Amino acid sequence: MVAIKKPIYTNKKNEGDEDVSKYRTWIEISERALTQNITTLNNVSGKSKFCAVVKANAYGHGLKEIAQILNRNGVNFFAVDNINDAILLRELLPSVNILTLGYTMKDKFSDAINNSIDITVYDKDSIEFIEKEAGKLAKKINVHLKIETGTARQGVLKENLLETLQVLKRSTHVLLNGVSTHFANLEETHNTEFASKQIKEFSDAVACIKK
């Protein structure tokens, strides 16, 4: 149960507010504090586009509630883990940019295309399949290419990058809209050797893509 309060309170106070005292547990979120966080993040991001990651039900805080607050405060780019959450978010916010960060099964590609949802990709077979599906639907779709730099989870390996880029360049319905990687221990401040290695590999990949 998620209760968005402005200001925070426990029991029903205003018409239309839900009485949360009937639940054993609940989360109360200060919209004012969340709004201040958004302002701070926008200030430090400069000209970069701010993307709010709201996967796993906005990390347990309520996807619908959090997304609506963020959108009211100027956020128009959201990321989720899977296509199901992406479609739910699309129904809620028809005009925002939405990116799926996790694996999208092939039978869900058409859902992404029809709902203008960006997909994270990291292998040429998926790109070729998306190209065929988008062609059948006479639509284009944005993809984000994930680079493997050391977490050994998802991502294009360095030795497969050029071949993957060639497939993207041949595609007329698949548009490369972003590049990402997953840093394993960027918060580690005592030993930055591995993080520095990942940053270098990612920077090299981005330079290769820009050629």
CATH architecture, domain defined by 51-210: Alpha-Beta Barrel (3.20)
pLDDT on residue 14:
52
pLDDT on residue 16:
56
pLDDT on residue 45:
85
pLDDT on residue 211:
84
List CB contacts of 146: < 8 A, sequence separation 6 or more: 120, 121, 122, 154, 155, 156, 179, 180, 181, 182
List CB contacts of 23: < 8 A, sequence separation 6 or more: 1
Question: Distance between CA 130 and CA 140 in Å, rounded?
Answer: 10
**In this structure, which amino acid lies at residue 52?**
A
Instruction: Give yes or no for a contact between 168 and 145, defined as CB atoms under 8 angstroms apart.
Output: yes
pLDDT on residue 99:
98
Q: Which of these, 149, 182, 145, 140, lies nearest to 165 by C-alpha position?
A: 145
Q: Count of H helices and E strands in the chain? A: 8, 8
- Reported as type and span, the H/E element at residue 181 is strand 174-181
Q: Is the dihedral of CA 75, 195, 122, 103 positive or negative?
A: negative
pLDDT on residue 102:
94
- Reported as type and span, the H/E element at residue 120 is strand 118-121
Instruction: Give yes or no for a contact between 157 and 148, defined as CB atoms under 8 angstroms apart.
Output: yes
pLDDT on residue 26:
75
Q: Please give the chain's pLDDT, 211 residues, in tens.
A: 444 444 333 444 455 566 666 777 777 888 999 999 999 998 888 888 889 999 999 998 999 999 999 999 999 999 999 999 999 999 999 999 999 999 999 999 999 999 999 999 999 999 999 999 999 999 999 999 999 998 888 899 999 999 999 999 999 999 999 999 998 888 888 889 999 999 999 999 999 999 8
Instruction: Give yes or no for a contact between 114 and 137, defined as CB atoms under 8 angstroms apart.
Output: yes
Instruction: Give yes or no for a contact between 185 and 195, defined as CB atoms under 8 angstroms apart.
Output: yes
Instruction: Give yes or no for a contact between 7 and 26, defined as CB atoms under 8 angstroms apart.
Output: no
Tokens read off for 96: 């925002």
Residues 50-76 pLDDT 10s: 899 999 999 989 999 999 999 999 999
Helix, strand, coil tally for the chain in percent (to 5): 45, 20, 35
Question: Distance between CA 3 and CA 9 in Å, rounded?
Answer: 9
Instruction: Give yes or no for a contact between 164 and 127, defined as CB atoms under 8 angstroms apart.
Output: yes
